[in-house]
Amino acid sequence: MQFADRLNNVETSAIRELFKLLGKPGIISFAGGFPDSAMFDVDGIREASQRALAEEPGGALQYGATEGYEPLREQLSAFMAAKGAKDVAPGQLIVTTGSQQALDLLGKTMIGPGDKVIVEGPTFLATIQCFRLYGADLVSAPIDGQGVKTDELERLIAEHRPKLVYLIPTFGNPSGAMLSLERRRKVLELAVKYQTLIVEDDPYGDLYFGEAPPPSLLALSPQVPGSRELLAHCGSLSKVLSPGLRVGWLVAPPELLAKATMCKQFSDAHTSTFAQATAAQYLKAGRMPGTLAHVRAVYAERAQAMGDALRRELGAAVEFVQPQGGLFVWARLTGANGAVADGDVLAKRAIDKGVAFVPGAPFFCANPDRATLRLSFATAGVDKIREGVARLGQAVA
Ligand code: PMP
């Protein structure tokens, strides 16, 4: 069959191949990017869905507006306001089918063949693939423990004049890194200085373990005049409530939002009204703060257990920054004392020892660092985390 040329730019993900091996009995998996299903607030979601059907069956089951179900847009506006982005009116966001769709709509509206796009190295794999599908020529901006290095970012923006810069400033996937407040300001200043669109992807910002992270770029943007007009922000209920609901949202300047809405109309008409009405009822019932407190506490304990176990079992063979939120430890093999220093090699040996993780190389759009690994602490309990890291210790030796 003659497929569209755009498919030539994209391969199926290396990670998907790895997932085929996870069915092996007894494997402890640190590979997934999922939240833990055991933490879903099933009672709260059941009640919310029942109220949605009882109170507004027409709204919940009928076709709806492409922009989203109005009561949900209002709830999301309030949800963001509670996190510091106080001036995002319901009309300044559209509801998307997961934040993944927001990324796709940004690709569709902004990126054409050969357009330069700057992403972090490493970044979310599905964004790499999605933007490449639209023909993006991706440029990798280096990060450290405090997120993207803004000096380097400025140099790359000045050199490439990208269509957009895609960042995950808070607890990145896979990096777990948190962009410092100073760098957040700098990013917004760069947007204005170079008139470049910044995309802030923020599905993990609510999952912090200790102190709250610095305000999102969206929340900070009023402090940097002119930056809001150059900022798109993707939010999601996936990591805090349920990915299966497929409720995300996009905040963007009016012209971009209108174009994205038009593209969404041709794509899925609207996000499931039933899911939207359920999410709206859930938020309205005021259950989110309790749910957030619960998931933060559970993930915090697991993150600590994984960090402690890595230090104990792998010692100098690995270096990493202890995550302050999110779902991932991003680690780098040092090769100390003859230990394995290649993520792919270690991944294969780890499967034989009964533990799985994702090697870091596929998360780079260029110059992959093959010594890196992404370890999710989200789905295994503390005992399994300790056991899994002990197995990893055997595999690395
Ligand atoms: N962005 C990032 C950084 C992610 O890690 C994910 C989920 N893995 C998404 C977007 C998409 O999430 P969803 O479509 O479920 O909102």
Residue among 34, 143, 167, 238 to mutate when testing ligand 1 (max atoms within 8 A of CB): 238
Q: pLDDT-derived band of residue 227, with 50, 70 and 90 as boundaries? A: very high
| Phi and psi torsions of 232, nearest 5° | -115, 140
Work out whether the CA dihedral 164, 124, 268, 135 comes out positive or negative.
Answer: positive
pLDDT in tens, 154-175: 999 999 999 999 999 999 999 9
Give me the mean pLDDT over the 43-67 stretch: 96
Question: Rounded to whole angstroms, how far apart are CA atoms 169 and 372?
Answer: 20
Within 8 A by CB and 6+ apart from 154, the residues are: 186, 190
Give me the mean pLDDT over the 7-33 stretch: 80
121's tokens: 């190295």
Give yes or no for residue 92 having a pLDDT over 70. yes
Residue among 124, 131, 143, 241 to mutate when testing ligand 1 (max atoms within 8 A of CB): 124
CA of 203 to the centre of ligand 1 (A): 6
Q: Report the percent of the chain where pLDDT is more than 70.
A: 98
Q: pLDDT-derived band of residue 23, with 50, 70 and 90 as boundaries? A: confident
Q: Report the percent of the chain where pLDDT is more than 90.
A: 92
pLDDT at 253: 98
pLDDT at 13: 67
**Residues facing 293 on adjacent strands:** none
**What fold does the segment set 5-41+290-396 form as a domain?**
Aspartate Aminotransferase, domain 1 (3.90.1150)
Domain ranges, ordered by start, for the chain: 5-41+290-396, 65-76+84-272
Asked if ipTM goes beyond 0.90, one says yes
Question: Rounded to whole angstroms, how far apart are CA atoms 66 and 263?
Answer: 10
pLDDT in tens, 291-322: 999 999 999 999 999 999 999 999 999 999 99
Residue 179 is which amino acid? L
Helix (H) or strand (E) holding 247, with range, is strand 247-251
CA of 374 to the centre of ligand 1 (A): 15
Give yes or no for residue 14 having a pLDDT over 70. no
CA of 45 to the centre of ligand 1 (A): 20
Which 8-state DSSP code applies to residue 151? H
User: What letters, b where the CB count within 10 A reaches 16 and e where it falls short, cover 220-246?
Assistant: bbeebeebbbbbbbbbbbbbbbbbebb
* Atom of ligand 1 minimally distant from the CA of 239: 15
CA of 165 to the centre of ligand 1 (A): 17
Class of domain 65-76+84-272: alpha beta
Give me the mean pLDDT over the 231-254 stretch: 98
CA of 263 to the centre of ligand 1 (A): 20
pLDDT at 303: 98
Pocket residues for ligand 1 (CB within 6 Å)?
A: 33, 98-100, 124, 168, 173, 201, 203, 236, 238, 243, 248
